[in-house]
Amino acid sequence: MHNDDRIVICESPDIDEAVDRLNEAFNEKRTIIIVGRCRVDYHGRASSKLEPGERIVIMKEDGAVLVHRSKGYEPVNWQPSGCILQALREEDCLIIKAIKRAPREVVTIFFDRIHFLSTFKLMDEGEFSLYASEEEMRRAILMEPSLIEEGFKPIDYERRVKPGFVDIYGVDKDGRIVVVEIKRRTAGKEAVLQLERYIETLKRSLNKEVRGILAAPVISRDARQTLLSLGLDFRRVDPKKCSEILKRKEEKKILDFFRHFTNA
């Protein structure tokens, strides 16, 4: 067993040692990994039962819990962050309880064999950046409205309409009001119906013609059908190109800044 402030690793710990290590880790908000044989009960919005088998359990410093089997992306049982963790011994069993309230949900893990238990203080300040999201598409269209069509002029974005938000709100070259609904992947029926709802609401409240444009990389056949029958338009917009446009504009901004400095 290795033990310092940062890392604790126990191979085949007995139950009492495991309970001690876990309580220590809960107090110090350490991240925990356990590999061993366990069964799991869950009661909350639904219920579930997982029969015994060997799994990986991760418990994080914010109270998130994940039970992973040997296959698949998803945990078989889990608890999102913010729950209270307890470890106790009962007979020859290590019992871990993860309790969340509102709604009350309880995950109980019963280990009858612990292959290994490890706790860490993870140092992680690294920034995470995501590109080509719907938000980036919106920003790119606002900076380069011709991505929608020539003469399009955005007026507002994330505009509240009844309950919901119009992605971009503007006018076309002929002064007609335009509503743009953005999707970062194949637009389906829901996207069309969403757009239609906004337009109906706006038409009634403004008592004017309102154009609807669905901006997405692709549109499904059915959705296109519905779109056309409702008199709405589709405009192909690629999220990656939007991301590149933003990057270029950012670079230009910085360049202009330095140019200004040089000239000054």
Partner DNA sequence: GCCTAGGTCCCGTCA
Partner DNA sequence: TGACGGGGCCTAGGC
β-strands 165-171, 153-160 pairing:
antiparallel
- Tell me which DSSP letter residue 219 carries: B
| CB closer to a copy of itself, 130 vs 264 | 130
Q: Which two tokens stand for residue 27?
A: 């107090």
Q: Nearest approach, Cβ of 83 to DNA (angstroms)?
A: 8
From 12-20, 28-36, 101-109, 250-258, span contacting DNA (CB under 7 A):
101-109
Among 28, 48, 153, 155, binds DNA (CB under 7 A): 48
Residues lying near a copy of itself in the complex (CB under 8 A) are found at 2, 6-7, 9, 11, 31, 33, 35, 37, 39, 45-56, 58, 60-62, 64, 66, 68-73, 76, 78-81, 115-116, 118, 120, 122-133, 163, 184-185, 189-190, 193, 197, 222, 239-240, 243
Contact call for residue 183 and DNA (CB under 7 A): yes
- Residue 186's binding partner among a copy of itself, DNA, none (Cβ under 5 to 8 angstroms by kind) is DNA
* Helix (H/G/I), strand (E/B), else coil: 251: helix
The string of DSSP codes covering 174-198 is TS-EEEEEE-SS-B-HHHHHHHHHH
| CB closer to DNA, 74 vs 174 | 74
- Residue 253's binding partner among DNA, a copy of itself, none (Cβ under 5 to 8 angstroms by kind) is none
Q: In angstroms, rounded to a whole number, what is the distance separating the alpha carbons of residues 37 and 56?
A: 9
Q: What CA dihedral angle connects 232, 236, 237 and 239, to 10 degrees? A: 110
Beta bridge partners of 43: 47, 106
Among 15, 22, 38, 64, binds DNA (CB under 7 A): 64
Among 21, 22, 38, 42, binds DNA (CB under 7 A): 42
* Whether the Cβ atoms of residue 77 and residue 67 lie closer than 8 Å to each other: yes
From 8-16, 19-27, 71-79, 204-212, span contacting DNA (CB under 7 A):
71-79
Contact call for residue 55 and DNA (CB under 7 A): no
* Whether the Cβ atoms of residue 26 and residue 85 lie closer than 8 Å to each other: yes
- Residue 55's binding partner among a copy of itself, DNA, none (Cβ under 5 to 8 angstroms by kind) is a copy of itself
Place of tokens 């992605």: 167
Contact call for residue 257 and DNA (CB under 7 A): no
* Whether the Cβ atoms of residue 96 and residue 22 lie closer than 8 Å to each other: yes
| CB closer to DNA, 167 vs 202 | 167
Pick out residues in 200-229 that bind DNA (CB under 7 A).
Answer: 218, 220-223
| CB closer to a copy of itself, 47 vs 208 | 47
Among 185, 204, 236, 252, binds DNA (CB under 7 A): 185
| CB closer to a copy of itself, 122 vs 254 | 122
Query: Angle at which helices 239-263 and 134-143 pack, to 10 degrees?
Result: 50
Q: In angstroms, rounded to a whole number, what is the distance separating the alpha carbons of residues 68 and 74?
A: 7
Instruction: Look at residues 133, 147, 218, 148 and name the one whose alpha carbon lies nearest to residue 179.
Output: 148
- Tell me which DSSP letter residue 104 carries: T
